Amino acid sequence: MSRIGVAVCGNSGMDYLVHDKEIRIFRSLLLIGTEEYEDFVEINADDFYARITKNPDLDIKTAQTSTGKIHEMYQEMVEAGYDELIVITISQHLSGTYQNAILAAKMMESTPIHVFDSRSLSYVEAFMAATAKKMADEGKNASEILERMEWIRDHNHIYVTVDTLKYLVKNGRLSNAAGFFGTLLKLKPLLEVSKEGKVVTVEKIRTTAKAREAMLKKFYAEIAGKKVEALLIYTNNMADLFDMQEELEQHDEISEVKLIPLTPVVGCHAGPGTMGLGYIEK
């Protein structure tokens, strides 16, 4: 029986959760001015959002984990005794991480490596990785684990609200035209992570409060009759979400509510004040 190892990219936010330490995490880089930081290791979410709130005009760029670095991780996992790997990444529509993981896998000819595109981000990835590790420990084979990953991928949804369109436009997540008119009209878009793994606009709303109301309304309509685990994703606004967490916990459909920060590498594309609300079906 193959010994299956599990890895997940740092965009999952797994670093901020209690997790099985045998799950390997490979992290992207954050470039602030002339300084380079490894996500979480050298700059965490609280520090990052404090910095960009204080200085909104910071020059920030990101770089996904290099193919060489991922290949090095694969080799280390094989040396640790794993003879088959499952690697979970952020949506390939949001980062080049998936492609780099694929390229690194092709360099490991003697080891079966299954690179799985979550078509999502944040806690959905982390949940997949935790589930994959649990199944591997139970002796499930790669086909069974990947089949479960596909089920999770088809049974989750995340909505997102942002306080400003500035970061989405600056980092190419919205066109300049959409950003110009959004700024002009002070729109606060309600976004979603689509089934294809893209961030798309659901509605254009005038205030953050109304955008959050619309998000909750859609969320409740979507989970009706289901059993779900809910997730709340925060930036510099965790305190704002405690009331929402309490409210969500009163609903019978919801077994648990996870709070998780949006990692700096992902958050620099959305900006401070961003929040997400989503679920994973049980």
- Report DSSP letters for 224-243, one per residue: TT--EEEEEEESS-GGGGHH
Give the strands of the sheet with 24-26, arranged side by side: 24-26, 4-9, 84-89, 113-117
Same domain (yes/no): 10, 132: yes
Check which CATH number belongs to the domain holding 246 and give it.
3.30.1180.10
Domain membership of residue 84 (yes or no) is yes
130 and 220 together in one domain: no
Q: How many CB atoms lie within 10 A of CB 279?
A: 24
Domain span holding position 130: 4-28+64-152
DSSP E strand stretches across the chain: 4-9, 24-26, 29-32, 35-38, 60-63, 84-89, 113-117, 156-161, 188-193, 199-205, 228-234, 254-261, 275-281
Q: Which of 99, 128, 152 is the last residue of a domain?
A: 152
Boundary residue ending a domain (124, 152, 180): 152
Question: Is the separation of the CB atoms in 264 and 30 below 8 Å?
Answer: yes
Write down the pLDDT at residue 61: 92
pLDDT at 232 over 70: yes
Can you say whether residue 273 is alpha, beta or left, with left for phi > 0 and alpha for psi between -120 and 50 degrees? left
Q: Is residue 47 part of a domain?
A: no
Cβ partners under 8 Å of residue 28, min gap 6: 9, 10, 11, 39, 62, 63, 64, 65, 95, 97, 265
Is the separation of the CB atoms in 186 and 194 below 8 Å?
A: no
Rounded Cα–Cα distance for residues 163 and 42 (Å):
26
Question: Do 227 and 176 reside in the same domain of the chain?
Answer: yes
Higher pLDDT, 140 or 33: 140
User: Encoding tokens for residue 233?
Assistant: 């994703």
Percent of the chain surpassing pLDDT 70 = 94
At residue 24, does pLDDT exceed 80?
yes
pLDDT tens for 256-276 read 999 999 999 999 989 999 999
Q: Tell me how far apart the terminal alpha carbons of the chain are, to the nearest angstrom.
A: 28
Res 182: pLDDT: 56
* Average pLDDT rounded to a whole number, residues 84-93: 97
108 and 178 assigned to the same domain: no
38 within some domain: no
Q: How confident is the model at residue 165 (pLDDT cuts 50, 70, 90)?
A: confident
**96 and 195 co-located in one domain:** no
pLDDT digits (tens, 9 = 90+) for 63-86: 999 999 999 999 999 999 999 999
Establish if 35 belongs to a structural domain.
no
Encode pLDDT of 102-111 as tens digits.
Answer: 999 999 999 9
270 falls within a domain: yes
Q: Is 231 within a domain?
A: yes
Give the count of domains, the chain. 2
* Mean pLDDT, all residues of the chain: 93
Inter-residue contact 202 to 247 (CB < 8 Å): no
Q: Are the C-beta atoms of 243 and 103 separated by less than 8 Å?
A: no
CATH of the domain at 12: 3.40.50.10170
pLDDT band at 174 (very low <50, low <70, confident <90, very high): low
Note the pLDDT of residue 188.
Answer: 82
Q: Is the pLDDT of residue 181 over 60?
A: no
| Among 172, 119, 118, 92, CA closest to 6 | 118
List residues bridging with 5 in a β-sheet.
85
Q: Are residues 136 and 235 in the same domain?
A: no
Residue 100, in any domain of the structure:
yes
Given pLDDT bands bounded at 50, 70 and 90, which one contains residue 177? low
Q: Which residues fall within 8 angstroms of residue 237, CB to CB, at 6 or more apart?
A: 272, 273, 275
Residues 176 and 253 in one domain: yes
Q: Which region among 25-39, 172-186, 191-205 has the lowest average model confidence (pLDDT)? A: 172-186
Same structural domain for residues 197 and 227?
Answer: yes
The better pLDDT of the pair 266, 189 is held by: 266
Asked if 197 and 120 touch (Cβ cutoff 8 Å), the reply is yes
pLDDT of residue 201: 87
Three-state secondary-structure class, residue 128:
helix
Residues 87, 213, single domain; the answer is no
- Give pTM, 2 decimals: 0.95
Judging by beta carbons within 10 Å of its beta carbon (0-12, 13-18, 19+), is residue 202 exposed, middle or buried?
A: middle
Length of the chain counted residue by residue: 282
Among candidate residues 118, 152, 186, the one where a domain is terminated:
152
Residues 162 and 130 in one domain: no
pLDDT (average), residues 197-225? 93
Residue 221 and residue 181 in one domain? yes
Residue 135 in any domain: the answer is yes
Map tokens 């190419």 to a residue: 172
Min mean pLDDT across 35-49, 64-78, 178-192, 216-230 is at: 178-192
Strand ranges (E), 90-155: 113-117
Are 138 and 21 contained in the same domain? yes
